[in-house]
Amino acid sequence: MNTQAQQEIIEEFALFDDWMDKYEHLIGLGKSLPLISDQYKTDEFLIKGCQSKVWLRADQKEGRVYYSADSDAIITKGIVSVLIRAFSGLSAQDIVKAPTDFIKEIGLSDHLSPTRANGLVSMIKQMKLYATAFAAQNNA
Protein backbone atom coordinates (compact mmCIF):
# COMPACT_ATOMS: atom_id res chain seq x y z
CA MET A 1 0.00 0.00 0.00
CA ASN A 2 1.32 3.40 -0.96
CA THR A 3 1.25 6.04 1.74
CA GLN A 4 -1.00 9.04 1.19
CA ALA A 5 1.98 11.22 0.25
CA GLN A 6 3.14 8.61 -2.26
CA GLN A 7 -0.32 8.46 -3.82
CA GLU A 8 -0.30 12.24 -4.20
CA ILE A 9 3.10 12.14 -5.88
CA ILE A 10 1.90 9.49 -8.32
CA GLU A 11 -1.15 11.59 -9.22
CA GLU A 12 0.99 14.68 -9.61
CA PHE A 13 3.46 12.97 -11.98
CA ALA A 14 0.62 11.41 -13.99
CA LEU A 15 -0.18 14.92 -15.26
CA PHE A 16 2.99 15.03 -17.35
CA ASP A 17 2.82 13.39 -20.71
CA ASP A 18 6.31 14.13 -21.94
CA TRP A 19 9.75 13.83 -20.44
CA MET A 20 10.48 17.52 -20.66
CA ASP A 21 7.54 18.53 -18.47
CA LYS A 22 8.47 15.84 -15.98
CA TYR A 23 12.08 16.99 -15.80
CA GLU A 24 11.08 20.65 -15.63
CA HIS A 25 8.93 19.72 -12.66
CA LEU A 26 11.82 17.84 -11.04
CA ILE A 27 14.13 20.80 -11.67
CA GLY A 28 11.54 23.11 -10.09
CA LEU A 29 11.31 20.84 -7.06
CA GLY A 30 15.11 20.76 -6.88
CA LYS A 31 15.32 24.51 -6.91
CA SER A 32 12.74 24.89 -4.14
CA LEU A 33 14.19 22.22 -1.84
CA PRO A 34 15.15 23.88 1.43
CA LEU A 35 18.89 23.70 1.73
CA ILE A 36 20.67 22.12 4.62
CA SER A 37 23.26 24.10 6.43
CA ASP A 38 26.85 23.80 5.19
CA GLN A 39 27.87 22.25 8.50
CA TYR A 40 26.04 19.08 7.46
CA LYS A 41 27.68 18.89 4.05
CA THR A 42 30.28 16.52 5.38
CA ASP A 43 31.25 12.95 4.63
CA GLU A 44 29.14 11.84 7.57
CA PHE A 45 25.97 12.85 5.71
CA LEU A 46 27.18 12.09 2.19
CA ILE A 47 25.44 9.25 0.33
CA LYS A 48 27.82 7.08 -1.62
CA GLY A 49 26.88 5.62 -4.98
CA CYS A 50 25.63 8.77 -6.67
CA GLN A 51 27.31 10.55 -9.58
CA SER A 52 26.37 13.80 -7.92
CA LYS A 53 26.85 14.50 -4.23
CA VAL A 54 23.86 14.06 -1.96
CA TRP A 55 23.85 14.96 1.71
CA LEU A 56 20.96 13.66 3.75
CA ARG A 57 20.13 14.02 7.42
CA ALA A 58 17.19 13.04 9.57
CA ASP A 59 15.67 14.26 12.85
CA GLN A 60 12.99 12.71 14.99
CA LYS A 61 10.47 15.04 16.63
CA GLU A 62 7.48 13.83 18.63
CA GLY A 63 7.66 10.38 17.14
CA ARG A 64 7.95 11.50 13.53
CA VAL A 65 10.99 11.51 11.28
CA TYR A 66 11.88 14.59 9.22
CA TYR A 67 14.51 14.54 6.50
CA SER A 68 16.51 17.33 4.96
CA ALA A 69 18.91 17.04 2.04
CA ASP A 70 20.96 18.85 -0.51
CA SER A 71 22.81 17.95 -3.69
CA ASP A 72 25.22 19.68 -6.03
CA ALA A 73 23.02 18.64 -8.99
CA ILE A 74 19.53 20.09 -9.47
CA ILE A 75 17.82 17.00 -10.89
CA THR A 76 19.20 14.93 -8.03
CA LYS A 77 17.84 17.53 -5.63
CA GLY A 78 14.46 17.21 -7.34
CA ILE A 79 14.56 13.44 -6.92
CA VAL A 80 15.57 13.60 -3.27
CA SER A 81 12.87 16.19 -2.68
CA VAL A 82 10.27 13.72 -4.02
CA LEU A 83 11.65 11.06 -1.67
CA ILE A 84 11.53 13.44 1.28
CA ARG A 85 7.89 14.21 0.52
CA ALA A 86 7.17 10.50 0.35
CA PHE A 87 8.69 9.66 3.72
CA SER A 88 9.07 12.78 5.87
CA GLY A 89 6.60 13.17 8.72
CA LEU A 90 5.89 9.46 9.10
CA SER A 91 6.87 7.44 12.15
CA ALA A 92 10.17 5.61 11.99
CA GLN A 93 8.32 2.29 12.02
CA ASP A 94 6.11 3.32 9.09
CA ILE A 95 9.11 4.46 7.05
CA VAL A 96 10.86 1.14 7.60
CA LYS A 97 7.76 -0.68 6.33
CA ALA A 98 6.82 1.80 3.56
CA PRO A 99 6.84 0.39 0.01
CA THR A 100 8.95 2.06 -2.68
CA ASP A 101 6.94 1.01 -5.75
CA PHE A 102 5.84 4.60 -6.33
CA ILE A 103 9.28 5.29 -7.87
CA LYS A 104 8.38 2.97 -10.74
CA GLU A 105 4.86 4.33 -10.94
CA ILE A 106 6.02 7.90 -11.47
CA GLY A 107 8.34 6.68 -14.22
CA LEU A 108 11.53 7.79 -12.52
CA SER A 109 13.27 4.43 -12.55
CA ASP A 110 12.56 4.10 -16.30
CA HIS A 111 14.43 7.29 -16.94
CA LEU A 112 17.34 6.55 -14.70
CA SER A 113 20.22 4.45 -15.98
CA PRO A 114 21.67 1.85 -13.59
CA THR A 115 24.39 4.23 -12.38
CA ARG A 116 21.84 6.89 -11.65
CA ALA A 117 19.33 4.40 -10.34
CA ASN A 118 21.98 3.27 -7.90
CA GLY A 119 22.00 6.80 -6.59
CA LEU A 120 18.25 6.64 -6.17
CA VAL A 121 18.48 3.25 -4.49
CA SER A 122 21.22 4.53 -2.20
CA MET A 123 19.07 7.50 -1.19
CA ILE A 124 16.11 5.30 -0.27
CA LYS A 125 18.40 2.89 1.53
CA GLN A 126 19.90 5.71 3.57
CA MET A 127 16.45 7.10 4.48
CA LYS A 128 15.34 3.66 5.63
CA LEU A 129 18.57 3.22 7.59
CA TYR A 130 17.91 6.43 9.51
CA ALA A 131 14.37 5.23 10.23
CA THR A 132 15.62 1.83 11.36
CA ALA A 133 18.03 3.51 13.76
CA PHE A 134 15.29 5.74 15.18
CA ALA A 135 12.93 2.77 15.51
CA ALA A 136 15.58 0.83 17.43
CA GLN A 137 16.20 3.87 19.64
CA ASN A 138 12.46 4.18 20.33
CA ASN A 139 12.21 0.52 21.33
CA ALA A 140 15.24 0.66 23.61
Positions marked catalytic: 50
Helix (H) or strand (E) holding 70: strand 64-71
Give the binding-site size for other proteins (rule: CB under 8 A): 16
The minimum distance between CB 73 and other proteins, in angstroms, equals: 4
Q: Which of residues 102-121 bind other proteins (CB under 8 A)?
A: 111, 113, 116
Comparing CB distances to other proteins, the nearer of 32 and 51 is: 51
For the chain, how far is it from start to end, CA to CA, in angstroms? 28
Comparing CB distances to other proteins, the nearer of 27 and 133 is: 27
Report which of 121, 117, 120, 129 is spatially closest to residue 58, judged by C-alpha positions.
129
Question: For residues 95 and 65, is the Cβ–Cβ distance under 8 A?
Answer: yes
**Residue of 51, 63, 104, 136 interacting with other proteins (CB under 8 A):** 51
Helix (H) or strand (E) holding 54: strand 54-61
R_g of the chain computed on alpha carbons: 14
The minimum distance between CB 136 and other proteins, in angstroms, equals: 34
Comparing CB distances to other proteins, the nearer of 98 and 123 is: 123
Helix (H) or strand (E) holding 67: strand 64-71
The minimum distance between CB 82 and other proteins, in angstroms, equals: 15
Told to check if 16 binds other proteins by CB under 8 A, we report: no
